[in-house]
Chain A
Amino acid sequence: MKVLPLFLVLFSTYFVTATLVSNGYQPGDKATDFKLKSVDGKMYSMSDYQKAKGFIVVFTCNTCPFAVKYEDRVNDLAKKYKSKGYVLLAINSNDPEVQPDDTFEKMQAKAKENGFAFPYLVDEGQKIYPQYGATKTPHVFLLDKNLVVKYIGAIDDNADDASAVKEHYLENAIAALESGKDPSPAVTKAIGCSIKAKRKA
């Protein structure tokens, strides 16, 4: 009789872990497109950008301190790479019912205050982030023009101090694509806030 509860616990633990960790893209996978609403009220898809050389998909949110530390850098990257043909799209997957700081109105206020030069999209129903395997904010996915994932992870190696960055991971990855090479490293790790969704298990 003692075994049954233990088995159930192990079984359910496996399920929770599997849902949260194992799914998601690896470099080389083809990413899904989406049709999400931005803070300007319009819908955006990657297929809208037929001439794009690639896409910088950034999972972010309004208040995570790590996401906030990178806001200016994300904005600068959006502007810098737009002219080079790379479209930056930011997605907020936090459920405002779980995290009230991430309502649509607050996203609009943030985009306005910071002069976001990129679409800041709502992951309505939290359906996109699990497909990508985004687990935190910020979490970056660099895609080529065919939506193939080329790089996943951090923007650079110094969240605290932009001027002290030694490794510009994302920019190096884009440079690799420009040279027709695969980024190396193709995956990096960094601290971020977990994405706020209702628990399923």
Chain B
Amino acid sequence: MKQLFSISLFLLLAQTSLAQQPLVFEKFDDFEKAIIKEDDNVYVINFWATWCAPCVKELPYFEKLHQENKNVKVILVSIDSRKDFEKKLLPFIERKKITANVVMLSDIDYNTWLPKIDKDWSGSIPATLIISGKKRSFAEYEFEGIAELNDYVNSFINLNK
């Protein structure tokens, strides 16, 4: 009985930690199929990296958005190097207590996929894409606070009602 309990507990914990582990997409096409959806949800997709200071500075606003606004789905897309997944990205997520969905996109053929996110995106990060159905909005700049981010998200939602 004790063994069964231990095994169950282990499986439960394993499943929990697996659920927290960010998905890694090495190819943009796989990322696009899994993450860029055109349905009724409002997706707020932020592109960032652990080494990008303004990205790190605005992440708490996205985390807050995730916690406070249940009408949007926040996805934080790290473009850190594939090799930095264990040593940099995972510890970063834990240290900053990020609960929003984090994925890693390690496809370095930027010239091919950057225009698929937004044709005008020159490649600077941070950058944020909002998608709902066929409607998109793209911000190639950093947000200075939660108010600015909320305004941006709400304007998009109101415009596209």
Contact = CB atoms under 8 A, between A and B. Distances in A.
Contact of B151 (A9, A20, A167): A9
Interface in A170-189: 185, 188-189
B51 interface: yes
Given A6-B155, A65-B51, A194-B141, A189 B123 contact: yes
A167 B111 CA distance: 11
Contacts, number: 77
Interface in B82-127: 108-111, 114-115, 120-126
A61 to B, nearest CB: 12
Nearest to B137: A13
B84 to A, nearest CB: 10
Chain B: interface size category:
20 to 34
B111 A188 contact: yes
B52, B81, B141, B159 — most chain A CB neighbours (10 Å): B141
Interface in A37-95: 65
Q: How large is the interface on A (under 10, 10 to 19, 20 to 34, 35 or more residues)?
A: 20 to 34
Contact of B54 (A13, A154, A188, A194): A194
Interface string A148-168: 000001100111100000010
Residue of B79, B110, B114, B124 with most chain A CB atoms under a 10 A cut-off = B124
B124 A192 contact: yes
Contacts of B72: none
Nearest to A164: B108
B111 A190 contact: yes
B140 A20 contact: yes
Contacts of B120: 21
Most buried by B among A135, A139, A158, A194: A194
A50 B83 CA distance: 46
Interface of A: 6, 9-10, 13, 16-17, 20-21, 65, 135-136, 139, 153-154, 157-160, 167, 169, 185, 188-196, 199
14 contacts: A9-B152, A17-B139, A20-B140, A135-B122, A154-B123, A157-B109, A191-B114, A191-B124, A192-B123, A193-B52, A193-B124, A194-B124, A194-B125, A196-B54
The 6 closest A-B CB pairs, nearest first, are A136-B124, A189-B114, A194-B124, A135-B122, A188-B111, A135-B124
